[in-house]
Amino acid sequence: MTETTPIERVLVVGAGAMGAQIAMVAALAGREVRLHDVDATLAEQAVGRLRERLDAQVAKGRRTADDVAAAFGRLSVADDLDADAADVDLVIEAVVERLPVKRDLFARLDALCPERTILASNSSSFVPSSMASATERPDRFVNLHFFNPALVMKCVEVVRGPASSDATVGTALRFVDALDKTPVVLDREIPGFVANRLLGAVRDEAIGLLEGGYADVEAIDTAARTALGHPMGPFELMDLTGIDIGYLTKTARFEESGDRADAPSATVAALVEKGDLGRKTGRGFYVYDDGGHRLAPAELPESPELKGK
C-alpha cells in the first residue's frame, strides 16, 4: 500500500473524557466526526459537557461562536457502529484500557471499515502490535495518543508498529498537523511511549517518597511546581487524569513484564479498591467540591502492604 486517503471522516469509539474531546478537536479542525459509545446516553451527555466547555471558551473570547456552532454541526452521536464505520477514513479508539476489549473492538472494526480506513488507538498502555494483530490491516494501524485535556494539550504521540506502513504514518502525521497539534513520532513501539515513561518515573518517585514517609502529598506537589516548573504536581495530575487509569496502565505493564517494579503501588491500589479515583469521584489524593475544585489533602487509605512501615 503506497497511498492512503486524506482523512475527512472520523469515527471516535468511546465517549469518555478523552474520546469526546478528541472528537471535538477533529470537528473544530473541519472533519466530519461521529462519536460512538456502547451507551448512547453517555455519548449524548458527553456532547452536552462539550457544549458547556466550548460555550465557556466563547464567553472568554478564546473561540468564536460561529466556529463552535460549525464544529457541532460536524459532530454527531453514532449509535449504529456497523453503519457508522462503513465509510470513515479513520477510527480512533478511546475505550477502557483492557487489551481483550480493544482487540475485540478492532477485529470488529476491521470487518466493518473500508479497506482504506486507518485504525488508531489512543492507548498509551498497549503498543500498536498488541492490537493490530487482531486485524487484517496491521499496515494501516497506529497509535494516536492524545493527552488530557485533549482540547488544550498540543502533543499527540504517533506510534508506529512493526507493520505500520510509511503511508499510514505519513497520513497520520498530516492529520495531527491539521488538528493544530504537535506530533511526536516513535519509530519503534515501547509501552508508555515517550511522555508517559518520563512522567511515570516522576510519579513512581513521588509515590516512593510518600510511602517512605519522607514528605506528604502537598509537599511533593509543591516541590514539583515550584522547583521543577511543572504546571501540576504528580499527585494533582494523577487526580486529574484518573487514578484508575494509572492503575490499569501499571497493571497491564506488570502483566506483560512480570517485573514487580511495573506493578501499581500499594497506595494507588488501595485508592482504586476504595473507589477514590480523583476529581471524577470527588476524592483521590485530594478532596474536591462538586465543581471539581480542590479543597484539601485527603486522608489516604491504609494498605496492608504499608502497615508497619
Instruction: Determine which one of 93, 145, 164, 165 is catalytic.
Output: 145
122 labelled catalytic = no
- Cell for 48? 452536552
Q: Quickly count: other Cβ atoms within 10 Å of residue 165's Cβ.
A: 20
Instruction: Determine which one of 196, 236, 265, 303 is catalytic.
Output: 196
Query: Phi and psi dihedrals of 302, rounded to 5?
Result: -90, 125
Query: Phi and psi dihedrals of 88, rounded to 5?
Result: -90, 155
Query: Phi and psi dihedrals of 124, rounded to 5?
Result: -110, -5
Provide CB contacts within 8 A for 87, sequence distance 6+: 9, 114
230 labelled catalytic = no
Q: How far is CA 240 from CA 147, 151, 202, 244, in A?
A: 12, 15, 16, 11
Q: How far is CA 190 from CA 42, 56, 129, in A?
A: 32, 38, 10
157 labelled catalytic = yes
196 labelled catalytic = yes
Residues found in the chain? 309
Instruction: Determine which one of 93, 97, 157, 236 is catalytic.
Output: 157
Residue 43 and residue 81: Cα distance in Å, rounded? 13
Residues with catalytic function: 124, 145, 157, 196
